[in-house]
C-alpha cells in the first residue's frame, strides 16, 4: 500500500479547472518531484493534500486513511508537513523559536499546566528543545539560532522553514520549490540535505521544483502536471525527454 494515494482529484476556482482527475501513488521513502509550468496545479495539489483546500471530487488517502475532508491540523497530526512557495516564517522571532513552533503538535500539556510550569511541562519543553537543537545541528543552523528571521539571508530562511517542518517529525514531507531564490551552491547543498533526510529519517518526500537539473539529481521519480492534468509519470531521464513534457514544460524554459 502506498503512503499517499490520490484518486481522480479535481478542484476548480470559478471557471478555472486547477486540477482535473489527477491520480498518483507515492510509496514510502521515495523522493518524488512534481513539475510543470506555472499554473499547472502543483501548489493546489499540495493545498488539497494538507487540507487547506477541499477538493470538488476525488479522494486522498494517507497511510490508508481517507483525509480528503480532514482539516489541516488533523492532516499534520497524521504525519504530513510542508514548506511553502513563499516563505512563511515569523520574521520577528528567532530561528530557534520558529523551529520550536513546529513542535506544537507534540505538546500534550494545556495552557493552565504551562502557566504552572510543572514537571510535565518542563519535560516537554526539554524534549522539544533537544529536538530543535538536533535539527539546528543537522542543517548547520546553529549560527542562526538566536537571530531574528528578518535578518537572515533568503537561503538560510529556506533552511529554517525546512527545519520547522521537520520538527513535526513527519512521515511525508511536501517541499514547495525548496530551491527557489537560492544560489547554485545553495541548491547543491539542498540536494544533499534532502537526500540525507529521506535516508536517515525514513521520510517520504514530494517536492515541487522548477530547476530540472535539480529534479534529475534529487528525484527517483517525476510526475508532470499541465493545466491541472497529469501528463507524465516515470523515471527522471524518461520524463524529461517525453515529447508532451518538452512541449508543456521544458519548452517554456528554452
pLDDT at 254 over 90: no
Write down the pLDDT at residue 22: 98
Q: 169 φ, ψ to 5°?
A: 55, 60
- Beta bridge pairs of residue 234: 222
3-state secondary structure of 155: helix
Closest CA to 48 of 20, 27, 29, 90: 20
pLDDT at 252 over 90: no
- Alpha-carbon span 48 to 231, nearest angstrom: 19
Write down the pLDDT at residue 253: 45
The string of pLDDT tens digits covering residues 166-189 is 999 999 999 999 988 888 888 999
C-alpha cell of residue 115:
502557566
- Alpha-carbon span 145 to 129, nearest angstrom: 12
- Beta bridge pairs of residue 226: 229
- Alpha-carbon span 90 to 97, nearest angstrom: 9
* Adjacency order of strands within the sheet including 65-66: 16-26, 4-13, 57-62, 65-66
Report, as an integer, the average pLDDT of 132-136: 95
Q: What is the pTM of this model?
A: 0.89
Number of CB atoms found within 10 A of residue 34's CB: 27
Write down the pLDDT at residue 242: 81
Give the range among 5-19, 49-63, 146-160, 228-242 with minimum mean pLDDT: 228-242
The string of pLDDT tens digits covering residues 90-111 is 999 999 999 999 998 876 665 5
Give the range among 62-66, 115-119, 153-157, 191-195 with minimum mean pLDDT: 115-119
pLDDT at 115 over 60: no
Write down the pLDDT at residue 109: 64
Q: What is the mean pLDDT of the chain?
A: 90
b/e sequence 86-105, b meaning 16+ C-beta within 10 Å: eeebeeeebbbbbbbebbee
The string of pLDDT tens digits covering residues 202-223 is 999 999 998 888 999 999 999 9
Report, as an integer, the average pLDDT of 111-128: 67
Q: What is the CA radius of gyration of the chain?
A: 19
List domains and CATH numbers for the chain. 1-79+170-254 (3.40.50.300), 93-168 (no CATH)
Contact 148, 93 (CB under 8 A): yes
Largest CA distance in the chain: 64
The string of pLDDT tens digits covering residues 19-71 is 999 999 999 999 999 999 988 999 999 999 999 999 999 999 999 999 999 99
Contact 95, 106 (CB under 8 A): no
Amino acid at each position: 500500500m502506498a503512503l499517499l494515494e490520490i484518486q481522480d482529484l479535481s478542484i476548480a476556482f470559478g471557471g478555472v479547472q486547477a486540477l482535473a482527475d489527477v491520480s498518483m501513488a507515492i510509496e514510502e521513502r521515495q523522493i518524488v518531484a512534481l513539475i510543470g509550468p506555472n499554473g499547472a496545479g502543483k501548489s493546489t495539489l499540495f493545498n488539497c493534500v494538507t487540507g487547506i483546500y477541499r477538493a470538488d471530487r476525488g479522494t486522498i488517502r494517507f497511510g490508508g486513511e481517507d483525509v480528503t475532508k480532514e482539516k489541516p491540523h488533523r492532516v499534520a497530526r497524521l504525519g504530513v508537513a510542508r514548506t511553502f512557495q513563499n516563505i512563511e516564517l515569523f520574521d520577528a522571532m528567532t530561528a530557534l523559536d520558529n523551529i520550536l513552533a513546529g513542535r506544537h503538535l507534540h505538546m500534550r500539556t494545556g495552557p493552565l499546566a504551562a502557566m504552572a510550569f510543572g514537571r510535565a511541562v518542563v519535560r516537554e519543553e526539554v524534549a522539544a528543545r533537544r529536538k530543535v537543537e538536533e535539527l539546528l545541528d543537522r542543517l548547520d543552523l546553529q549560527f542562526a539560532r538566536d537571530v531574528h528571521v528578518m535578518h537572515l539571508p533568503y537561503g538560510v530562511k529556506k533552511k529554517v522553514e525546512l527545519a520547522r517542518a521537520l520538527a513535526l517529525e513527519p512521515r511525508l514531507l511536501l517541499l514547495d520549490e525548496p530551491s527557489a531564490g537560492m544560489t547554485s551552491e545553495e541548491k547543491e547543498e539542498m540536494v544533499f540535505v534532502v537526500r540525507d533526510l529521506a535516508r536517515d529519517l525514513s521520510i517520504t518526500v514530494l517536492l515541487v521544483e522548477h530547476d530540472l537539473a535539480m529534479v534529475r539529481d534529487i528525484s527517483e521519480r517525476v510526475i508532470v502536471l499541465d493545466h491541472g492534468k497529469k501528463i507524465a509519470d516515470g523515471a527522471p531521464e524518461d520524463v524529461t525527454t517525453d515529447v508532451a513534457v518538452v512541449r508543456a514544460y521544458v519548452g517554456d524554459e528554452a
